[in-house]
Chains A and B, each alone.
Chain A
């Protein structure tokens, strides 16, 4: 786990399974997703942590790229001078510098794939020198964009170039992120490039109930077992922010599960099996979880586990908002309650009615999706989280039960919270 690097985007590391192991990642984008904010965060993270960064630019001259990044709050000029970042400008033709004395590499034969190949070998040589100097932690590459590369050199030469660069990345244990617009090409092109990548991250812009929202999804992670559902994000202060409080805890929860050789599953440290050998039905994967817990004790354990999580995560959430519970009225409390769960991806939550010792909640678009198996499975998990947050907000000991489920028909799930003492 120690070799994992951060993407620089809060929350993204969580849905990737705990960061980015070295390898090559594809960032699939479409217009309006503001991919440069991700690129800036990624480079910023690298420069801050002593990585040697390589920025390969196909979409615009390097001067424009430097300016764009500066507008996003990342001024790389000092880093260029100090030699901790190199730019490879493949937009404009320029004098080829075989000695690599400057931080900006160009070629005088831009249209020839072989000259690009030569440049790639040069970068690899530079990488080697930089790493040998002992000044850098690792190599962090970003390509903006692979789409332009494919447009310039056609698919096959481009595929060969990528294969070569993947070889280099693997040899050097470097981290590489390539921006790519799949809609520009036939599906087979995107699939081939995905196949070459260790991880695939998809940014999209979608209409949800008449409003457009940006989403991020981990389609493939080099971390075994990890992928994510779509998580909404916003660009705030030029930086991407994932609107999900639960991205981390659920992937962490996944790590608590252990598959036994006979095919059953156990919660680490628990004496209960969550599923037995023949009646296989117990897995929680990230947010698509389906756990059917047929042993009451185990169910209780999942509930308690989740309650702790809910509590801890909500405290974190509060800390990030600078709101003190003592300063707000009860109406505001319930608003925060709802906002937290909506952001967590559990569903759109509405507080129906409440008193000092009782809260009833309606959850539309619940993650159970109306599927009975998933619903039964995930039930202790959601109930636990709700109870945990309720305890955090209203003090005392709370329990939560599900009184109505999407899978019984109807448009929402309903949960009741009760103060025990």
Chain B
């Protein structure tokens, strides 16, 4: 097995073939009600537990609210920001740009300009390098919440360029990245382009089954060769996603046999 890290959710690692592959970027396709933030919370929980540098880019809400939301989900984000194991990039609001990168919260004065976002991304990469060199950390993980807002703000082409650059930065380091996006907000071609850019694709959905609604997760593509899955139902219990798969292992074995 190549170098992989755990997602932080029991069951998900098995679905994607053992874990998130280091140097890979994953698209997390969501829709309303799928509670993607619970996935992100577990993702960072695990990162902090494994002493990884965690970075969260927030485009959907101001960082204060994101901190509040993640705290209410039980992630020790305030402590992590204080100790420097977590970096928050706030691209919702405008703020003073900090060229010294002293703070754990990065902002830009010109949030509507893609170039200034580019600069922040480079900053983020530098910070990651410095932190990894310090020897305190074993790797890094990034989440973008959400790519949808990025596309809405910067339009498709600039965002694609930003994402491409971001991807380079992910591949260079011992880093995994998750980009949250709601595909229903865009044309199919836009979604296809971002799916193309990412190494792995996880789809969260909410579906009516026999008159009842149920949440599902599916691995559409995994960078670990040969893995994909059918839809697996999940629920949120105690603020964390919980896969309802008694036969996860059995199912995958069967897939392997079929292959």
Contacts and interface: CB of A to CB of B under 8 A. Distances in A.
Contacts of B211: 229-230, 365, 369
A292 interface: yes
A224 B239 contact: yes
B246 A281 contact: yes
Contacts of A369: 209-212
Contacts of A230: 211, 213
B32 interface: yes
B184 A280 contact: no
B236 interface: yes
B184 A170 contact: no
Interface in A370-404: 370-371, 373
A217 interface: yes
B35 A188 contact: no
A39 B239 CA distance: 31
A371 B210 contact: yes
A114 interface: no
Interface residues on chain B, size class: 35 or more
A283 interface: yes
A280 B246 contact: yes
B61 interface: yes
A212 interface: no
From A224, A263, A373, residue with most partner B Cβ within 10 Å: A224
B193 interface: no
B186 A188 contact: yes
B61 A170 contact: yes
Given A188-B184, A280-B242, A290-B244, A229 B212 contact: yes
A219 B207 CA distance: 11
Contact of B248 (A187, A220, A280): A280
Nearest to B233: A290
Contact of B182 (A195, A257, A283): A195
A277 B185 CA distance: 37
B157 interface: no
Given A280-B248, A367-B212, A285 B11 contact: no
A227 to B, nearest CB: 5
A192 interface: yes
Contact of A277 (B10, B210, B214, B215): B10
A227 B33 contact: yes
A224 B73 contact: yes
Interface of A: 159, 167, 170, 187-188, 190-192, 194-195, 197, 200, 217-221, 224-225, 227-230, 254, 257-260, 262-263, 265, 277, 279-281, 283, 285, 287-288, 290, 292, 365, 367, 369-371, 373
20 contacts: A188-B186, A190-B184, A195-B60, A200-B33, A218-B33, A219-B206, A224-B35, A224-B38, A225-B239, A229-B211, A229-B212, A230-B213, A259-B242, A265-B238, A280-B242, A280-B243, A280-B246, A285-B235, A288-B213, A288-B235
Given A167-B93, A195-B146, A288-B214, 15 more contacts: A170-B62, A195-B182, A200-B32, A217-B213, A229-B212, A230-B213, A258-B238, A259-B237, A259-B238, A263-B242, A280-B248, A285-B236, A290-B233, A369-B212, A370-B210
